Structure formats: structure tokens, C-alpha cells
Amino acid sequence: MSLATYKKKRNFSQTPEPAESKKEAWQSRFVVQKHRASQLHYDFRLESGGVLKSWAVPKGPSPNPSVKRLAMAVEDHPLAYADFEGVITEGEYGGGTVMVWDRGTFKPENGDVESALKKGELKITLRGKKLKGSWVLVRTRGRQWLLIKHRDRYASDVDIALSAPTSVVTKRTLAEIAEDEGGDVRKAASGDPPGIPRRTRVLRRKGRRRAVWGAESSE
Ligand code: MN
């Protein structure tokens, strides 16, 4: 899946063979799903080898390079999972509300993803809506990894879990997703930052639910 070996064997200033295109370098997807299951966590998933390699990050990614976030390796997920936002039935595995908290594409920085993961250190550049720039996943022991931001122009000491708490796809809070999809609203709301504005009502228009913010809509 990776072109690391192809690139390593060639000097593209000397050979007329094609190098990796920019588009190819950024073709792999990543997603971070905020998941209010038995405990709130953020599922960090990277496309590799036709699956989503996955870690559960209890506190979520931090753009602060001095903050190391525990990331527990969990089972690979199918690629289609990257688009899942909704409610997993209570009592089922992972029961609770899932939000697409961030997504985009990434580029591996140290060879191909599979071999970097085997070595226990994967450096990646993320191009998401919330997460950007260079990051590293380092294995400490067993399934325990650390997710750390590298120092670059995207490093920041902002608490991004609080400053950017909603879905990048639908702008909804966890409580709103639970409300729309028949989940446990109270439980989901406990994963939203305290004091976050609540949607006041939901209008139905053209068969689709549409969120309206504020006291009164002019329409
Ligand atoms: Mn999860």
C-alpha cells in the first residue's frame, strides 16, 4: 500500500521514472471519533492496508507538544467506519453516542505505516479540520501508545477538546446527536463541555432535520 520502498530505491533527480504525486502522498484518511461509551474517549483512526488502524485516546489529542496523551491500541475497523456518526445501542459493544470529531488526510513521515507501527514509532502529518501538522504515535508497552504533537506552527496550548467540541460533519454536540438518533441524551451530554449552548429546537423541513440556534427563527 505504501510507496516507501519504491521511493527509497530511486533518485528522482536522476531517473525519468515518476515520483509519488502530491495527491498520492495525501490519499490516506484519518478520523477522530468522539465516543461517549462507558467512558468518554476519542477513537483515533488511520487508514492503512485497507483498514482503519485504531487507538482509543481517553483525553483526546492535544496540540500541546508537552502533553503526551495515552492511546490504547484497539482492533482494526473497516474503512466505512470513518463516516459513522450516531448511536450504538446501549448494552451492545461500545454502546453510546459517536461523533465525527475530526477528519482529513494524513501523510506518513517515517516510511510506510505498517513497518513504522511494527517498530513502535509512527510519525505522521495530519491535514484535518482541527488537527494539523506533525504528530507521533510511540509505543510504550503492549497496547499502550502515546500520541504527541511535534513542535511546528500548528502547536498550541489551546484545550481543543473544549474549544472545538462539535462534529466536523454536522456541527452537532454529542447531546444533539443522541437526541436526533434516539440515544441517551443525558449520558451523551455528559461528554459535551459544560455550558455549551444547546440547540433550542429542531425544525423538520423537506423531510430533513434542521437545527435552529437561538430563541426564534425568522423563517
Ligand atoms: Mn470507542
Q: pLDDT by residue (tens digit) across 90-123?
A: 999 999 999 999 999 999 998 889 999 999 999 9
**Residue 35 CA to ligand 1 centre (angstroms):** 5
Closest CA relative to residue 60, chosen from 110, 118, 128, 108: 128
**Residue 159 CA to ligand 1 centre (angstroms):** 21
Which of the two residues, 18 and 192, has the higher pLDDT score?
192
pLDDT confidence bin for 21, thresholds 50/70/90: confident
For the range 178-186, what are the long-range contacts, defined as Cβ-Cβ under 8 Å and sequence gap of 24 or more? 178/87, 178/97, 180/209, 181/86, 181/87, 181/97, 182/87, 183/86, 183/87, 183/96, 183/97, 184/90, 184/96, 184/97
Across the chain, what does the average pLDDT equal?
A: 89
The pLDDT score that the predictor gives to residue 184 is 96
pLDDT confidence bin for 2, thresholds 50/70/90: low
**Residue 112 CA to ligand 1 centre (angstroms):** 25
**Residue 140 CA to ligand 1 centre (angstroms):** 21
Asked if the model's pLDDT at residue 64 lies above 90, the reply is: yes
**Residue 162 CA to ligand 1 centre (angstroms):** 19
**Residue 177 CA to ligand 1 centre (angstroms):** 16
pTM of the model: 0.85
* Backbone CA torsion sign across 88, 94, 95, 99: negative
Give percent of the chain with pLDDT exceeding 90: 74
Q: pLDDT by residue (tens digit) across 27-56?
A: 899 999 999 999 999 999 999 999 999 999
Asked if the model's pLDDT at residue 79 lies above 50, the reply is: yes
**Residue 8 CA to ligand 1 centre (angstroms):** 36
Q: pLDDT by residue (tens digit) across 180-213?
A: 999 999 999 999 998 888 776 555 444 455 544 4
Cβ contacts of 159 within 8 Å, gap of 6 or more = 62
Q: Which range is least confidently modeled, 81-95, 137-151, 199-213?
A: 199-213
**Residue 33 CA to ligand 1 centre (angstroms):** 7
**Residue 27 CA to ligand 1 centre (angstroms):** 24
**Residue 84 CA to ligand 1 centre (angstroms):** 12
Which of the two residues, 51 and 22, has the higher pLDDT score?
51
The pLDDT score that the predictor gives to residue 215 is 38
The pLDDT score that the predictor gives to residue 200 is 64
**Residue 169 CA to ligand 1 centre (angstroms):** 18
Q: Which range is least confidently modeled, 18-27, 28-37, 83-92?
A: 18-27
Asked if the model's pLDDT at residue 216 lies above 50, the reply is: no
Helix (H) or strand (E) run with residue 116 in it: helix 113-119
**Residue 37 CA to ligand 1 centre (angstroms):** 7
**Residue 46 CA to ligand 1 centre (angstroms):** 14
**Residue 176 CA to ligand 1 centre (angstroms):** 18
